[in-house]
Structure 1
Amino acid sequence: MIRKLTDDDRQTLLAFLGQAPALNLFLIGDVENFGFKQDFQEIWGEFDSADGRLKAVLLRYEHNYLPYADGPFDVNGFAELMLRDDRLEMLSGSSDLVAQFRELMSFRKEKKLFFAELTSLNEAGDRSPHVGASVRRAEIADVEPVCSLMDVIEEFDTNPDSMRSGMRRSLETGTGRTYLIERDGHVAAAASTAAENSLSAMVIGVATHPDYRGQGLATSVVRKLCADVVQKGRSLCLFYDNPKAGTIYKRIGFQDIGFWTMMYK
């Protein structure tokens, strides 16, 4: 049985997601931060017909969807829910889980990424103090300049309006943060978090403008961001597909823990 979840399901849902806290970082963060009464967010759960146990979850955030299950689940039922949204943009999740939707839904593009976690910063990693000193935390007025940087990065295949509204919301609500470095009056490098919750945060949007690559700017931004989050007792996760980028993240302290797939309509 699949039904929409409400605040009455909060404790059951969080206990279920807590079985895999790193993997469910987005889900846990969105439940803690936004709950069940937002226009931009809905959560459905599948319950075992025999014992009533919650066995699978599907989150809608804007027009992006994220499933989680700890075993076999109603793939067709979840697919039907997503296909009702004619503005569906992306399906993402653990690679093994998302693969089950391939034959039920058509997607124009798919990206498989390494999934890495950081619990403590590697203080012996590379540093560039002169660069790090110029890293600052973004304010609301920085949303457009940061998103303008993302617009020129080929790897970011995100709806521009959704990207801007999402970043603005995360800064306004404290569910995410963005750090940046400026050069020549423009944002040269940036990195953000999303789904910040009581235990963890996801690093997203790591980018350097093509004109400023090879200077260690992104590394400095990510290191500063991670240092501030870890100082609050939280772990961090991120995705990457570039082995060179993976080497940089591992010097900071990240370790691979699995794979993540994003499928775009």
Structure 2
Amino acid sequence: MIYKCDENKREDLLNFLYNEPSMNLFAIGDIETYGFEHFDLDVWAYVDSKDEISGVLVRYKENVMPIHGKEFEGFDTFLPLIQSLTPLYISGNEEVIAQYEEEFEDYEKKENYLAECKELAMESPLVQEVVPLNKEDISLYFDCLKEIGMMKQQTIEEITNELDRDSNAIQVIKDETGKIVSTGRIAVETKLSAMIVAVGTIESYREKGYATAITAALVNICIQKKKTACLFYSNPEAGRVYQHLGFKDTQKWIMLKSKG
């Protein structure tokens, strides 16, 4: 049986999702941030023959995330629902997405590794150069993202509001002129985990250890909050850097993107 979730199902739903807090970080974060009445979010739960939740389907904007095990009796219920939503993205762990790939042959597949860190294995000598982003420097932050080649996904107002909520959300390194040359941020948080994203350095400043220092600083912030630091990577070279810091690979995260 499948049902649309509301506040009455919050506890049961989160208990299920917190069985894998890092892998389900996005789903948990969406629910804890937006609740069940937000127009960008829909959540369905599948209750199996034992009257227990064995699968969850989350729609956040144009992204759909099926969450369940390898032997899932609700697959024939989830599949037509996902098809009816015509999502731009279908994402989740490798074991789950593998069950849907044949049904979405016109989607492009992208693989990432999900790594997590609970304790730094080494200290970066440059970590003292990492500072929180000041509101006065938001335009410089956008300049840095552009030069790195990252898309600007938020407005100045949105970044300002975010820094009001958490002054440590975005960390940067500046050169001697005050230009922001390296950056990274914490994007999604739950009570147990936090996702590090958008770590990058301007090309002419690379291979100096700046990205490593940014990542180490963000991990330290997560540890102070008693949360596991998580991140995605696809580049093996970046993966080696993260592993030296103390990150350990968990599962592959697969994203199917519509070509239409």
Q: Same fold (TM over 0.5)?
A: yes
1:30-49 pair list within 5 angstroms: 30-48=30-48
Alpha-carbon contact 1:144-1:164 (below 8 Å) kept: no
Please give the TM-score of this superposition, normalised by the length of structure 2.
0.83
For residues 73 and 46 of structure 2, the distance between their equivalents in structure 1, rounded to whole angstroms, comes to 8
Q: Is 1:134 matched up with 2:134? A: no
Amino acid of the structure 2 residue aligned with 1:25? L
Deviations 1:121-177 (A, max 9, x none): 22xx25233xx33322235666665455445656x6x7x5xx326x74765655x92
2:221 corresponds to: 228
Give distance in 2, aligned partners of 1:186 and 1:242: 27
User: Is contact 1:140-1:172 (8 Å) kept?
Assistant: no
Q: Secondary structure at the match of 1:195?
A: strand
> CA-atom RMSD, angstroms?
2.9
* Segment of structure 1 superposing worse, 184-193 or 135-144: 135-144
2: CA distance, partners of 1:134 / 1:247: 22
Identity between Structure 1 and Structure 2 (%): 29
1:181 and 2:180 correspond: no
8 Å contact kept, 2:59–2:65: yes
Say which SS state the counterpart of residue 29 (structure 1) adopts: helix
Contact 1:76 / 1:104 at 8 angstroms: preserved in 2? no
Q: Which amino acid aligns with 1:28?
A: I
C-alpha distance in structure 2 between counterparts of 1:179 and 1:110, whole Å = 31
In 2, Cα distance between the equivalents of 1:75 and 1:205?
A: 34
Q: How many residues align?
A: 254
Larger Rg: 2
- Counterpart of 1:24? 24
Work out the CA distance in 2 between the residues paired with 1:105 and 1:148. 38
1:208-227 alignment, distance < 5 Å: 208-227=201-220
Give the gaps of 5 or more residues in structure 1: none
* SS in structure 1 of the partner of residue 103 of structure 2: coil
| Deviation per residue, 1:86-131 (Å, 9 max, x gap) | 5x33222111111222122245532212221111122xx25233xx
Partners of 2:19 and 2:180 in 1: CA distance: 39
What's the offset of the Cα at 1:17? 1.2
Aligned twin of 2:251: 258
Corresponding residue number in structure 2 for 1:164: 154
Does the alignment pair 1:244 with 2:237? yes
Cα distance between partner residues in 1 of 2:221 and 2:99 = 37
